[in-house]
Chain A
């Protein structure tokens, strides 16, 4: 139920965006619950974007991983 999948926003008109889940098929997603721009990644849950993914934070997680392993 809480499954959410990352997708890239390719087009956006009002509260509806076309997103790519990585399979080169564009699907419509409601983006009313987030502030997102074309080019950003969103987490999609049941046809609705619930968050804009922060790529810088993702890279920080990889850095934190290196820190943990080198401690």
Chain B
């Protein structure tokens, strides 16, 4: 792994920045990424400040906690209040639905347990089979195969999942074609694309003329990906290229995708603050419906008039329309210690990333 040192090398990063400044025309270019970890790299290493003014880096909806519907959070919280044990990732527990957060429900005596993975949730379910245990399954295609793997291993009957798993490629393509996400080029999310394969982004290039580059997460990785996009944009090309070839392949992790597809099917699904996007929600196939908390407990779909808190502008932040600093709540009432909007919750949320890097606060 000695190459990692080179991918964090300051001189190489500066050389790439000089190249971007010297070689390419000064026309305005919007590059969108859809991964909280890419936003972290960009903010942590100050990449925006290094780039010329004509290149704008936009953070798209790349944070699973941010887009998890308020209804799902409230329903998970209600299950805990009814006496079921709800197992959840730590960051998800802090996201506030319309009525509840799981963290608040836990502090009021609700049975909420923080887990690192679905395996921990299963251990809890197996330890006392008289107790109903629900795993709040949040995450993109990177996390969904882990859930699928355990559903195939026949969990105990007192175990079920509330799936908020989402599939990124069709979401990016649909949001672009609807004009909701503006971009001249896209950085594909390195680890989600490790699973789905680079081929899933091909329609963006072929049908919409948007160049795509799958990128790693070191600062030199991201700068290389930017240059690979800027070069294509300036030459009028739109290809699907792979900067992160040590992990991403054209076909992806076929075993993982097969595991997902055996357990889940894709359905039209809600993305918080963004709306319904076709074929982006992983729901359990009929044969596994006994493990589906929505079926098991008869959870009903409810349309909230608004699923964002008054003043919260996460919906626009997730589509790159505004910066966190333009939100009236940012670092005033909405802070990492007491998040109001979902983008302030997770280390992948744009507001949270900006807030924890003092220069931007």
Contact = CB atoms under 8 A, between A and B. Distances in A.
Interface string B1-23: 10110110000100110010001
A62 B189 contact: no
Interface residues of B, number: 52
B149 A33 contact: yes
Contacts of B346: 1
Interface size class of A (residues with CB under 8 A): 20 to 34
Given A48-B117, A68-B224, A4 B142 contact: yes
Contacts of B1: 6, 8, 22, 41
B-side binding surface: helix, strand, loop or mixed?
helix
Contacts of A22: 1
Contact of A60 (B89, B224, B245, B347): B245
Interface stretch (B49-57, B253-261, B302-310): B253-261
A19 to B, nearest CB: 13
B132 to A, nearest CB: 23
A27 to B, nearest CB: 12
A53 B247 contact: yes
A9 B24 CA distance: 43
Given A1-B346, A2-B191, A50-B195, A59 B139 contact: no
16 contacts: A2-B36, A2-B139, A2-B143, A2-B192, A2-B348, A3-B348, A6-B1, A33-B255, A34-B253, A43-B194, A45-B146, A50-B142, A54-B245, A65-B6, A65-B220, A69-B16
